[in-house]
Copies of this chain bind each other. A is one copy, B any other.
Amino acid sequence: MKIPPFKEINPPDQLGYWTNKKTGEKYGGQYISPLLIPNLKKVEEGFKKAMKNKKFLAGLEEQLINHIGIVTPLLRSKELEDIVGGEKKIGKIFLKRTDLHHDSSHKPVSAFSSVYFAKHILKAKKIITETGASMNARAVASACAKLGLECEVHIGAVDSEKVSLNKDITELYGAKIIECHDSTKTLLPAMAAALRSWQNDPTAMYVVGSVCGPHPYPLMVRTFASIVGRITKIQMKNLTGRLPSTVFAVCGGGSNLNMISYPYYREKSVSIFGIESAGKGISSGKHAATLTSNAPIGILLGARSNVLMNDDGQIDESATEASGLDFSGTGPEICYMHSIGRIKFRATTDKEAQETFLMMCRRTGILPAIEACYVIHAALKEIKKRKNPKENHLIHLCGSGESNVTRMLKYKRENE
């Protein structure tokens, strides 16, 4: 498969802002201590160079294809079609199988790209990253192992205590795991700890787990990751002869949504949906649905974006069954796309996602990441409502559920 080169169709401005022209509202930017400014400048300049460096891009693409395995299938799922009424009523449903990636999720695409960039462009010897559910840490640690870089992972002590397949794999990959005992001892203080550690060691490079953080991270991560979207667009064309009518992806930080939907930003005929976790219900306050709940704009981890926070600006903890979605913010480009209405948002409750998990196992023989179940539930609901047999629907199956098995089996046994 020939993968078309990246084309910038939604550039932020020089300072890393996406600006909503109607409201004047800005998303992104680089709000960070002056101590980190030089580090970010280095990344920013390196990234610009990298995107013009053909050898770098070709080398990265080769590794993404052959090591990460990004040319995963696009699976027509008759089983899901039948669940919502059959092809004749709702059209065709396609699952982008990024669950088949190396390390079983979409995360390795940007993680590997970032580490490859750190090695070949920045000549860094060490990577610093943070993690909650360790999916990102696993992917970064794997890339560091392969590329011969030191890897330092910051994890909240509370998260660290949870039994976690991905954390164990991160350790096997040789990463140094540092527990963070600050504040809530979860993802956010771990991110802060990672940034502080970078402040201490500017020769290292910081890698972020989603399309978040200060400029140029949101831009860089989505640019690297969009290769999956470009591949999928071609696959969709090959299979159906045209663009999909809808694109669905779950949204935690926004990387897998960005990854799959980027190539359709300018394709007006394609409806794009981002699905958040409604946790125990948005009205309960225990959720991670930043955009669906219309969270206000704030400045979190270096970027202007919608943020779950209280009236004093203290960041609220998100709450969701899906640890990969357990984040109080959303990437700035995604917030911008939400603000201009280009991406529509829906939210799925934990209970709905858990039932979808069981359904997927039993009806499709696929073990999805619990994160992916939020999007599948919402997509089926939307597709059923649209009831258009001429449509082709694209759902991003962004990860595999090995690390959810223990909890989900418990849920199954308690609920059946």
Q: Specify the chain B residue showing the minimal Cβ separation from A108.
A: B365
Q: Are B366 and A142 in contact (CB under 8 A)?
A: yes
* Residue among A69, A71, A358 having the largest count of chain B Cβ atoms under 10 Å: A69
**In contact, B79 and A75 (Cβ under 8 angstroms):** no
Please tell me if the beta carbons of B79 and A146 are within 8 angstroms of each other in the complex.
yes
Counting CB contacts under 8 A, is A66 at the interface? yes
| Chain A interface SS verdict (over half) | helix
Q: Which chain B residues border A104 with CB–CB below 8 Å?
A: 104, 400, 402
Interface size on A, residues (CB 8 A): 46
Closest to A146 in B: B365
Given A100-B100, A145-B362, A365-B144, the answer on whether A172 and B405 have CB atoms closer than 8 Å is: yes
Partner of A145, one of B100, B165, B171, B364: B364
* Residue of A67, A72, A171, A408 contacting most chain B CB atoms (<10 Å): A67
Quick one: which of A359-416 are within 8 Å of B by CB?
A: 361-367, 400, 402, 405-406, 408-409, 412
Q: Point out the residues of chain B lying under 8 angstroms from A365, CB to CB.
A: 67, 141-147, 173
| Residue A65, interface by CB 8 Å | yes
Q: Does A101 contact B (CB under 8 A)?
A: yes
Contact residue among B101, B102, B174, B406 (Cβ-Cβ distance under 8 Å from A366): B102
Quote the shortest CB–CB distance from A361 to chain B (angstroms): 4
Q: Using Cβ atoms and an 8 Å threshold, which residues of chain B touch A145?
A: 361-365
Contact at B364–A165, with CB atoms within 8 Å? no
CA distance A118 to B104 in the complex (A): 29
**A302 in the interface (beta carbon within 8 A):** no
Name the contact of A102 in the complex, choosing from B100, B144, B363, B402 (C-beta under 8 A).
Answer: B100
Q: Which residues of chain A from 157 to 182 have any CB-CB distance to chain B below 8 Å in the complex? A: 165, 168-169, 171-174
**Distance in Å: Cβ of A351 to nearest Cβ of chain B:** 17
- Bound-state CA distance A143–B365 (Å) is 6
Counting CB contacts under 8 A, is A97 at the interface? yes
Task: Give the residue of B103, B172, B412 whose beta carbon is less than 8 angstroms from that of A409.
Answer: B172
| Chain B nearest CB, measured from A37 CB (Å) | 31
Cβ–Cβ contact A146 & B364, under 8 A: yes
Which residues of chain B are within 8 angstroms of A100 by Cβ–Cβ distance?
Answer: 69, 100-102
Given A171-B412, A173-B361, 10 further pairs, Cβ under 8 A:
A67-B73, A79-B146, A100-B100, A100-B102, A104-B104, A144-B365, A147-B365, A168-B409, A172-B358, A172-B362
Measured CB to CB, the residues of A under 8 A from B are 65-67, 69, 71-76, 79, 97, 100-104, 141-147, 165, 168-169, 171-174, 358, 361-367, 400, 402, 405-406, 408-409, 412
Interface pairs (20), CB distance under 8 Å: A66-B76, A67-B75, A69-B72, A69-B100, A71-B71, A100-B101, A100-B102, A145-B362, A145-B363, A145-B364, A146-B363, A146-B365, A147-B365, A165-B405, A169-B361, A169-B405, A171-B412, A172-B409, A173-B362, A174-B362
